[in-house]
Amino acid sequence: MTTTERTPAVPAALSARSRPLRWVAYVLVAVVVLAIPQFASPYTNLQLTLILVYGVAILGLDVLVGRAGQVSLGQSAFVGLGAYAAAYAFGHGWGPVAALALAVALAGVVAVLVAIPAVRLRGFAFGIITLALPAFAVPLANRLVDLTGGSQGVAVVATTPPEWTGQADDQWRLYLVGVVAAIVFWLVHNLLDGRLGRALAAIRVNEAMAAANGVAVHRNKVLAFTVAGLCGGVAGWLYLIAVQFVSPAILQLNLAVSLLVALVVGGTRSLLGALLGAAFFVLVPNVTDNISPGRSYLIFGICLLVVLFFFPGGLAGALRRLLAWARRRIGR
């Protein structure tokens, strides 16, 4: 016997009235969002940029983890790969588009090569294998000193704001990252809206059942892994744009685990969740550091537990419930 929870239906009259209202809201939000970098400090702009960067990485991870249901501990390797590729490109005088192409291509190729054998494994076995990616990547980055600058890392000047825009470095980067991130989000959203999304959902719920129903499980899992890797690559390029520096630290397992945690905190299977998770990941450690530098890690852990305890479905889920509650009250 199955029952599904029904969310209360919005009364018809209200929804008809709210349509133009919603568009007004969207425009307002867009205006505010575009205006913020003009007034905010460089530090704030950097934080916002980083949120977008990690948001893209988490979005990619969500495709594999949230939608296809495969636990992955390797996302940081793709982000790092993208960042290093971009650094190499910029360092050799390539333009930003070419650098992005390199980052994405490399990340995609590695993702496919790893995915094809790896997706035959189930559950935790797959997860531990993905762990190998950062485990390999960090020493590799340390050793290929010519390509990567070793443990010191590499600093590049990735982009400078064109004269006619009159923007400062931090503002320009925020806009650039914002536009690219928005495009990636839109692409992934469309990708998931179609067959891939449905196939992944079937796989997540029950692989054997999905296979019995004709879903090409293996191929779709490879696809999901590749999308995750590609997003990671883009995030790496975005990271370099934002920070203009890359070192082996970005490849580490710590980051991969943090991205996974951020995904759950923000809310799986949700575009907004990816951004909220990224925001949590970028902002909360600063806050806890300000509260008490010695106890920062502990407080962060407690915050995590609080979110996990009280907000199943993550921050995005909580927001959705809040909005539904608000809508019900307005509807009365």
Partner 1 sequence: MQQIVDGITAGSIYGALALALVLVYRSTGLVNFAQGQMAVVSVYIGWSLVEIGLPVPLAVVLTLVASLVIGALTERLLIRRFEGQEPLVAIVATVAVLICFNGLINLIWGGSVRAFPSLFPDDVVSFLGARATWGDVGTVAVLVGTVALLQLFFLRTRLGLALRTAADNPSSARLLGLPVGSLLLVGWGLAALLGGLAGCLVAPSVPLQPNMMDTILVYALAAAVLGGLDSPLGAVVAAWLIGIVETVAGANINIIGSDLRIAVPLVLLALILLVRPQGLFGRRDVERL
Partner 2 sequence: MSFLEVAGLLAGYGAAEVLHGIDLAVAEGGATAVLGANGAGKTTLLRAITGEIRRSGRIAFAGTDITSRRTDQIARLGIGHVPQGRGTLNRLSVRDNLLAGALLRRDRREVKADVEDCLRLFPGLGERIDASAAALSGGEQQMLAISRALMGRPRLLLLDEPSLGLAPRVTAEVFAALHRLRAERGLTLLLVEQNARIALDLVDAAVVVEAGRVTLTGPAAEIAGDDGVRRAYLGV
Judged by the rule CB under 8 A, the positions of this chain that interact with partner 2 are 1, 3, 5-6
- Which one of partner 2, partner 1, none interacts with residue 208, CB within 5 to 8 A by kind? partner 1
Give the separation between CA 76 and CA 256, rounded to whole angstroms. 5
Look at residue 246 and give its three-state secondary structure: strand
Give the nearest distance from C-beta 25 to partner 1 in angstroms: 31
Q: With respect to partner 2, which residue has the nearer C-beta, 8 or 139?
A: 8
Binding-site member from 33, 35, 179, 302 for partner 1 (CB under 8 A):
302
For 145-151, the CB contacts below 8 A with 24+ separation are: 147/84, 147/88, 148/84, 148/87, 148/248, 149/247, 151/247, 151/248
Q: With respect to partner 1, which residue has the nearer C-beta, 108 or 134?
A: 134
What is the sign, positive or negative, of the torsion defined by CA atoms of 121, 189, 320, 75? positive
Give the nearest distance from C-beta 221 to partner 2 in angstroms: 24
Does position 297 bind partner 1 by CB under 8 A? yes
Q: Quick one: DSSP state of residue 245?
A: E
Binding-site member from 49, 76, 252, 268 for partner 1 (CB under 8 A):
268
**Four-CA torsion 12, 17, 22, 23, nearest 10 degrees:** 130
Tokens of 272: 């907004």
Binding-site member from 6, 212, 290, 332 for partner 1 (CB under 8 A):
212
Q: Of the ranges 5-13, 18-26, 101-109, 305-313, which one interacts with partner 1 (CB under 8 A)? A: 305-313
- Which one of partner 2, partner 1, none interacts with residue 128, CB within 5 to 8 A by kind? partner 1
Bridge partners (DSSP) of residue 246 are 154
Does position 247 bind partner 1 by CB under 8 A? no
String of DSSP letters for 154-211: EE-------GGG---HHHHHHHHHHHHHHHHHHHHHHHHHSHHHHHHHHHHH-HHHHH
Does position 168 bind partner 1 by CB under 8 A? no
Give the residues lining the site for partner 1 (CB under 8 A): 65-66, 69, 71, 117-118, 120-125, 127-129, 131-132, 135-136, 138-139, 142, 208-209, 212, 253, 257, 260-261, 264-265, 268, 294-302, 304-305, 308-309, 312
